[in-house]
A = this chain, B = another copy of it.
């Protein structure tokens, strides 16, 4: 994208650490995969599955781990965490492209809204009464920031994000297009065969450094708030219900659903399409496998699963049918046990 950044391996080691092996002076212009990087680019090896590509790479240099320090004659940086290292190098070559500060003429910003310095507000964006936008924040085209909502410094809302009234987003957040923050929780009281709406008067409070994916929806709390702590990363099309709490640095993959009042600890990993039932509590550091339904609280560390892997259709039908026959099989075994017992007791 026309970046003019040029850095040498020596520059990188000075800033990010790591051990330099081979010539450190060549200037590089970007980062790529072992398969796609060219002579003026740096590649990386973080997944051993790709080690065979090392011999054939056209890259000018490589970032790799201790185990692979001598696996190539190319100039290289050796580091304990090559994937994190390449993330830092890539961010250097590809900084987040913030639009120029300023407010597009078509944006509708309430006179009472408080705007920090160097804020960028895109075309047709709408900022409500008393909203607060932090320094250098970016409000993309067509975004809607409700009355009294707050967007932290350097946060970046891509086009079409909706933040409802009173919700708060911390610093350096990234919200992707179509994300909705603060819609009403699904709260209804059954009353004579009909549903009576329970007003959702809480807010959504989101910490610093949180990223939220495209078309993800986070509901406001019913009475208390829905809370997402610092450093949480949420993928696309995730549902976060009212009064959920998500602990710091937890990552939630796409299509997951977190039902009402669930409490997820810090540093958890929730797999794609996983579902967490309401009012459960997931302890710190737990991993939930993709497509897995958590039906009760989990207090012991570890990985939890409930996945059936796809099989050829007929095989699957045969296997699935077995489950329904198990009770009968169990009875047959009980009958055999009785007979055997009788046979054994029988004098020979």
Chain A contact residues, CB within 8 Å of chain B: 1, 31-33, 36, 81, 83-84, 86-88, 90-91, 93-94, 96-97, 104, 106, 108, 122-124, 126, 140-142, 144, 146, 158-160, 162, 164-166, 174, 176-178, 180, 183-184, 186-191, 193-199, 201, 211, 213-217, 219, 223-224, 231, 233, 235-237, 239, 241, 249, 251, 253-255, 257, 259, 267, 272-273, 275, 277, 288-296, 298, 300, 302-313, 316-320, 322-327, 329-330, 332-333, 336-337, 339-340, 343-344, 346, 348
CB < 8 Å: which of B83, B195, B237 contacts A189? Answer: B83
User: A82: shortest Cβ distance to chain B, in Å?
Assistant: 9
Which of A211, A233, A237, A337 is the most central at the interface, judged by chain B CB atoms within 10 Å of its CB? A237
> Hey, which chain B residues are within 8 Å of A87, CB to CB?
187-189, 191, 196-199
Q: Which of B144, B293, B339 contacts A291 (CB 8 A)?
A: B293
B144 adjacent to A126 (CB under 8 Å): no
Are B289 and A308 in contact, with the CB atoms below 8 A? no
Q: Are B195 and A233 in contact (CB under 8 A)?
A: yes
A162–B159 Cα distance when bound, in Å, is 7
Partner pick for A176 among B124, B184, B291, CB 8 A cutoff:
B184
A180-B214 contact given A293-B308, A326-B326, A343-B343, CB 8 Å threshold: yes
Q: A180 to B177, Cβ gap below 8 A?
A: yes
Best-buried of A219, A272, A348 by chain B (most CB within 10 Å) = A272
Task: Report the bound CA distance from A294 to B253 in whole Å.
Answer: 16
A306 touching B309, Cβ below 8 Å: yes
A141, A188, A219 pick with most chain B CB within 10 angstroms: A141
Give the distance in Å from the alpha carbon of A324 to the alpha carbon of B231 in the complex: 38
- A267 → chain B, closest Cβ, in Å? 6
> Is there contact, CB below 8 Å, between A333 and B329?
yes
Closest to A335 in B: B337
